[in-house]
A = this chain, B = another copy of it.
Amino acid sequence: MEKRHADIIAEELEERIFGGIYADGDRLDEVRLAEQFGVSRTPLREALQRLARSGLVELKPRRGAFVCQPGPVDLIEMFEVMAEFEAICGRLAARRISDAALADLHDANDKCQAAVQAQDPDSYYAENERFHKIIYRESGNSFLEAETSALHRRLQPFRRQQLRLRGRMAQSMKEHKDILTALEHGVSEAAADALRGHVAIQGEKFHSLMATLKNAAE
């Protein structure tokens, strides 16, 4: 499948915004970016339109494109919604999950455990993501799966930081255990609650992380 320039540019800009290359409120100059990418303004503008739809930049008419980094309040709200999304996936998956998927979940969880013992955050991160994606999929609702994956992706850079907190991985493994047993026994509400709590904790941790950062900055 041939990719258009606009696609590549949109992805690259998305990476940069997620990666923090651009600060909140920065103006994205069309001509400068265009010559930087070696293309004309046309595909670049298409890319900006796309980013605007995703909420990564604000497109002020006749003014230009300004990057929209989510503030602390936005992030807390998004984490709250993420927790609820995962809870929904869990509630539905508890009723619909297949045996094969349950086996996959066990496998992902075992590899998570191994990563914890090996002190390997990257591997833990990958397997943890697989664990959650399986649950999204087993919700049996591809629309929900897409929405949840999209928000997951958007929160990815912020989630990653807080994995470094001491003891988080061990605690997370306990929560995975609860999720797994709830799914195995098909107890919808337990699965939903376990997943909501599992993700909401990340949001709260993030909250305190922000607070410490803010205090440190003062």
Does A96 count as interface, using CB distance less than 8 angstroms? yes
Does A11 count as interface, using CB distance less than 8 angstroms? no
Residues B4 and A61 in contact, CB atoms below 8 Å apart: yes
Residues B49 and A211 in contact, CB atoms below 8 Å apart: no
Residues of B within 8 A of A24 (CB): none
- Complex copy number for this chain: 2
A62 to B53, CA, bound (A): 22
Residues A77 and B143 in contact, CB atoms below 8 Å apart: yes
Residues in A68-96 with C-beta less than 8 Å from chain B: 74, 77-78, 80-81, 84, 88, 92, 95-96
Residues A74 and B143 in contact, CB atoms below 8 Å apart: yes
Chain A at the B interface: SS class: helix
Query: Chain B nearest CB: distance from A40 CB in Å?
Result: 12
- Of the residues B49, B81, B141, contact of A81 by C-beta under 8 Å: B141
Residues B143 and A78 in contact, CB atoms below 8 Å apart: yes
- Of the residues B74, B142, B208, contact of A140 by C-beta under 8 Å: B208
Residues B144 and A81 in contact, CB atoms below 8 Å apart: yes
Does A42 count as interface, using CB distance less than 8 angstroms? yes
Other 18 A-B pairs with CB < 8 A, given A78-B143, A88-B88: A3-B61, A45-B46, A46-B46, A46-B49, A49-B49, A49-B50, A49-B53, A74-B143, A77-B141, A77-B142, A77-B144, A80-B92, A81-B147, A84-B144, A95-B208, A96-B211, A140-B207, A147-B147
11 interchain pairs (CB within 8 A)? A42-B42, A46-B46, A49-B50, A53-B54, A80-B92, A81-B141, A81-B144, A84-B88, A140-B207, A140-B208, A147-B147
